[in-house]
A and B are shown apart, each in its own frame.
Chain A
């Protein structure tokens, strides 16, 4: 066996993304029940619950693991809760996987859900002058889209990306998500429509920036022995999970900071933070980008998806536009990216999103992604990045 540090994905489930206006617990429970049903594992058999936290839904959100465990009915299972911004879901998965690989758990539930307010994400309330997230809004008015726009403009200046390229990413993802029952937005758009939508932060337009959504996603994962006993001979497996920090000095400006690290004493060498995330997952898995059949990446903006092509190794630096223009990342192309429709079709439900990426990868690797199937998919990679130096990548195979 090439990699004995695998765990099996026995079941996946989601509550559809939208703006439902209900309690986040409801979405998480629905997703958990769907994942348990998909796995054919009764809730009472789950011996470990890993929750991904939401910071916007009060104390129950901060202790999501226990909140979901209580809602599903206390069983005495071991429990944990993880907060890692956009990577929270992968952090929860990483916890559960480690418990299984250490032999402390046989079968675990990983679950995250969110209920979001309208409009821009904003910092937690109150006057907090020592919080960089509060400071960047107060002193600079620097919303999340302004950071995405800085990366987009940089791509245009350095690599010759065009506004049409960015719009084309949105067009592609909108088409991918058309038949995804869990997607919030299922409507085709044209390049002209994208370019006619109002500028939010130059050069990014309203249709190119991901919305904030309600949603829930869950996984049932288990040891390879448990899967075999359960009668699943060739499960989708998790082969690598990375939740690495940046390496000093991190010379790319990132939310919520208003300055980078200084490279005056230690030069920036090797991979950027974003590139290091997927690289660490590939290394664990013993699988390289050349083996990847499909990728689910964090298209917080249309332009950011192009950065990810390079960061997950699908092409060399500055080559992402060509990959897109050649149709390589469209379903039917060499390595489809965001076959689910991505954040363009979902919007972001923070603690659920990294889990949702794994759900999609699992459906794709099982050949169950109706209307958006990547034919013959054997390896999938997910990647995301959020505030405060958090990011994650998961490599799955079948």
Chain B
């Protein structure tokens, strides 16, 4: 039987595309991720009209690292703990840098600043209720 899958926290990404969910100011076009819904945070803009949008699914690595020690809760770690890599990824069109874990099995030795990566959906953790999904980054394989 296929387990139920659901996003780990509502409102951050659509796992079916997959893409990050943000908002864009209708007046000045500033992009917000996570989605800003109250008012534009550009201090020169007074708009309160923000529209839903999905962010670019490809970007370049601004920097990267990993977590060799198990993070404390509310991180839900596998037992035994499996270290993971983390990258800050620059999305050129949106002028924004977004953090994400790297896809399972990708370590820091496979990463470099400036490398192109793409968004993927993976299971963050599983419990009796469901498989909880999150966005991750994965290097774009240019070698086919």
Contacts and interface: CB of A to CB of B under 8 A. Distances in A.
Given A153-B65, A157-B114, A265-B42, 19 more contacts: A120-B69, A129-B9, A138-B75, A140-B101, A142-B71, A143-B69, A158-B113, A201-B65, A248-B42, A249-B30, A258-B98, A258-B99, A259-B33, A259-B34, A261-B30, A262-B30, A263-B95, A264-B94, A264-B95
B139 to A, nearest CB: 16
The 4 residue pairs across chains A and B that have the minimum distance between CB atoms:
A149-B65, A157-B113, A263-B95, A264-B95
B72 A137 contact: yes
Contacts of A253: 62, 88, 97, 99
A204 B108 CA distance: 12
B25 to A, nearest CB: 7
Contacts of A139: 8-9, 12, 124, 134
A89 B69 CA distance: 30
A143 B75 CA distance: 10
A142 B86 contact: yes
Contact of A249 (B62, B95, B113, B124): B95
B72 A146 contact: no
B97 A260 contact: yes
A258 B100 CA distance: 8
A153 B67 contact: no
Contacts of A143: 67, 69, 71-72
7 contacts: A120-B69, A138-B75, A141-B67, A154-B63, A158-B113, A201-B66, A202-B66
Nearest to B113: A157
Nearest to B32: A262
A138 B9 contact: yes
Contacts of A249: 30, 42, 95
Interface in A174-230: 198-204
A266 interface: yes
Interface string A117-157: 00110110001010010111111111100100111111001
A259 B98 contact: yes
Contact of A266 (B44, B65, B69, B114): B44
A22 B99 CA distance: 37
A200 B68 contact: yes
Interface string A245-278: 0001101010000111111111000000000000
Contacts of A119: 72
A119 B75 CA distance: 15
A248 B67 CA distance: 30
A248 B43 CA distance: 7
Interface string B81-106: 00010101000011111111100000
Given A120-B72, A123-B74, A264 B64 contact: no
B67 A201 contact: yes
Contacts of A134: 74
Nearest to B84: A141
Nearest to A252: B97
A197 to B, nearest CB: 11
A27 B98 CA distance: 40
A350 B24 CA distance: 36
Contacts of A141: 67, 71, 75, 77, 84, 86, 101
A152 B44 CA distance: 33
B69 A200 contact: yes
A136 B124 CA distance: 13
Interface in B1-59: 8-10, 12, 25, 28-34, 41-45
Nearest to A247: B43
A126 B88 CA distance: 27
With most chain B CB atoms within 10 A of its CB, the pick from A150, A199, A265 is A265
Contact of B96 (A122, A140, A157, A260): A260
Interface string B105-142: 00010001110000000001000000000100000000
A261 B101 contact: no
Contact of A264 (B30, B43, B99): B30
A104 B68 CA distance: 52
Given A150-B65, A153-B63, A142 B42 contact: no
A138 B8 contact: yes
Given A141-B84, A153-B65, A202-B108, A264 B29 contact: yes
Contacts of A198: 68
Contacts of B100: 140, 258
A122 B72 CA distance: 7
